[in-house]
Amino acid sequence: MIAWLLLGVAFLSSVLTGALRRYALARSIIDIPNARSSHSVPTPRGGGVAIVVSFLLAVPVLYFLGIIDWSATLALVGAGGGVAILGFADDHGHIAARWRLLGHFSAAIWALYWLNGLPALDMFGFVIDLGWIGNVLATLYLVWLLNLYNFMDGIDGIASIEALSCCLGGAFLLWLTGHFQGVWPLGLLASAVLGFLFWNFPPAKIFMGDAGSGFLGMLLGVFSIQSSALDPAFLWVWLILLGVFIVDATLTLLQRLLRGVKVYEAHRSHAYQHATQRYGRHLPVTLAVALINLCWLLPLAMLVALHLLDGLVGVAIAYMPLVLLARRFGAGLELNSDLDTGSKI
């Protein structure tokens, strides 16, 4: 039954993406290349709605099969659906940043309410409950993860590959440690992303848009908190799995703050954007992210999940080369001005 559900979600996501592409072309919902773009061909956007719809339709099936409980269902559908609706509205007409942020915080608080807040953390062998401070930090974490996912969705396939890698990696580690109830929701999201990736793989025929990227950022954050309720070490596991996006987005933001640049303005200063310009194509950078996730971050996350490595130590080890790599590619420096990275795309 589950296998058929996963296949059905992937198929539905792919079909819906194709339909959304035709809709976007008919309604001229097109991303036109400009000085801040990393693409050179006008491309339809908003295809991430297919991920949202196919996943949210399948979540109640997991509930009726007894795989997830009602609270988890409400957390996923309410927070994910709310963020997606807000992103869809912004894709079709600009929404002021303050209202978007209010919506993001509302979705995060909704999810944490139904998840009973941030679970206790495993820190250097001690299980620590941070109480209300932990819930505040968890709210900020969810909002930041949502927004950094928007920031990092800038080249063909990168956000899809990251979500697919994290979902499959997280599902594998939950299965490996015997927490089978957490595997199937991740499998559903991976299936939904896979159907979309058929159209989004470089060279992309359609972009994800804010509806899809914000949805993925929120859900991956929700899954990380759900998993840590099963095992406190799993919050660190997820921070490791998401390392490429967290390090690039955070380092870029900090660098821009230090330079006195308005951080809310559109820009092309992420490390992955510098790397794309240097290599002249999107595909090598997207594949590099997949390789880093598979060959570096997943093994470290597995050591933490098996309690062979402390979580905080694992995060530090995982992030050190990522920070060096991001700095090497000029995270936070504008393309064509602060750093010469080669030919334009």
Binding site, annotated residues for Mg(2+)? 150, 210
Q: What angle do CA 15, 145, 195 make, to 5 degrees?
A: 15
Q: Please, which contacts does 89-94 make with residues 24 or more away whose CB atoms are closer than 8 Å?
A: 90/210, 90/211, 91/29, 91/45, 91/46, 91/209, 91/210, 91/211, 92/29, 92/46
Beta bridge partners of 339: 335
**Residues at the annotated binding site?**
150, 210
DSSP codes of every residue in 111-172: HHHHTTSPPPEEETTEEE--HHHHHHHHHHHHHHHHHHHHHH--STTHHHHHHHHHHHHHHH
d(CA 140, CA 29): 32
Residue 178, sorted as left (phi over 0), alpha (psi -120 to 50) or beta, turns out to be left
Helix (H, G, I), strand (E, B) or coil at 285: helix
Nearest to 150 by CA among 293, 267, 282: 267
Q: What is the DSSP letter of 339?
A: B
Count the residues in the chain.
345
Cβ-contact 289, 272 below 8 angstroms: yes
DSSP letter (8 states) at residue 94:
-
Report CA Rg, the chain: 19
| Alpha-carbon gap, residue 302 to 279, rounded angstroms | 31
Return the ∠ at Cα 225 (arms to 303 and 10), rounded to 5°.
85
